[in-house]
Structure 1
Amino acid sequence: MKETEIPSMRELMGKWEQKPVDALGPLDNDLEEFYGSFPLTDGHSAELKITKPKGPPPQVSGFPLIVLFHGGAFSVGSGNMVARPARDFAKQFQAVVVAATYRLLPEYKFPTQMEDGWDALYGVQLDRGFILGGFSSGATVAAVLLQQARDQGLSPSLTGGFISIPMLLVDEIVPECYRGEWKSREENTQDPAVTKDSLQETMDSWIPDIRSPLFSPFNAPNPHKGLPPTYVQVGGLDPLRDDGLIYEKALRENGVLTRLDIYSELTHAAWTIFANESSPKDLGTNTMKAMEWLLGKT
């Protein structure tokens, strides 16, 4: 979206978010939700929305930790956007789910979003079951940080990655070996919200260094090796489809354990508060199976 449209879209998105959150119904009696914040290295702070089982963690195993970043083209959105998977993961897997935010465009340019995400990881480390994930632009943040966590020696180490409908490539950085497979920008024009033009508008506002490792894990000095098991989800009709497909293939070819779900009739959508009766019937089920796999519970 154009920079001039962002303030009104942000206000509208805030209203849109609340209705599907309300539609999820009351919070399960076994869960609790609350807000917190974490300090950023430059003196700012960012908001966290935490969903967890009530009571103390089990003395032996503890609660696994899942950190999720929301989508919104780096311009709009909040932790509420991942309330559906946050509640589902917390309930089924007895996990603490942290919906972490990042500062938004146009006020904050690249690489602020990645730096905020990195600060969030340092604020919520855990020794057991440490999953990092996100949806859409949040998946972009998560994929970059999975690579950074390996390269920077984050400790405790991440144990899994959850990457849903990410944007990871632009024409200039597509590896030559995958160039023939990067076609979805041209093939998929059905989604009115995510188009070549809207993606370019995001880039124009973001002003990223497209060759930086903070833009894409493909730019890392030694990409894709030594990462934890990673789940990738793509929509067959999404203009960003091939970003996810190529990412999963690159991970797999470099020895990373992967799991992939492709929904042939889905555009740029996932198991968030905006999933509805028209979503693929197995979208929620497969999302839960993927997290079960990442947590080693299968």
Structure 2
Amino acid sequence: MRWLLVGFWVLICCATAQADVVKVRAFDDIMESGFLKVAMYENFPPYSFMADGEARGVDVDLARKLADGLDLKLELLWVTPDETLDGDLRNFIWKGHYLRPNVLADVMMRVPYDRDFSYKQNELGELINELVVMFGPYQRERWQTAYDDRRIDELSSVGVLRYHPVGVEVESVPSFYLASVFNGSIAKMLHHYPTAQAAFAAMQGGEVDATMAMRGEIEWMLGQAADGHIKLADNAYPNMGKQVWDLGMAVHESNRQLAYALEGELEGLIREGVVEGIYAGYGLRYELPELYQVQPDDR
């Protein structure tokens, strides 16, 4: 999922074609149909993936809870990522993919909940995602580094990686960041792999001493590995732009009624601890989105 946050992190603007007329299911039609069609990324553990013929992951479980709350069945639309998240929103929320032009989701999971991203413009000053409503933050995500304590005593600073080979997903934010920080002195130590899972496996196999990816991915892989020598680093990321971000959902701008209904269900699930329980079931720490974090003045 290297593209997933690269475009978000650097806020790359790209032109968007005008939307063709595509049938978007209205809220009443969704309720009458008895099912909610949710788009989520395939082969993306621990968020959405198949295991033993069953759909699993925190996004899958949360989507099922949201659908249940509306008395609907969950129907998954597995999607392969485009080059940018803007392309995914175009393909599955408001326009349709050219290979399956009449297939749209009612809602899409794991979309950045960020004002700058929502109001991103192309070179003509036009809103790229004007036909999309981004709402319902349900998780706060951040970057995480893991290391093998047989080869690194302690990773208290990214600077330690100047002396150790580190595995990263190709064309990912960690790749770009580690190649540029400290005047590029870590670049020569980078080893690139097709996925974060492959980079983690390379660390287990001794090819590299550390790896960096999204915290949820790292924690999931750490739990699967059950290797006492793999540790989570507690370091900062100096000179890095977007280190923490909230993730939510997206619907077509004409379907705000669905967004309101899902937000209502989501708030209850968060406040009752159900969402945190879903994450714990996959061995993940859960961090509340900023919207739900209690500020000192709110106490």
Say which structure is richer in strand: 2
TM-score (norm 1): 0.30
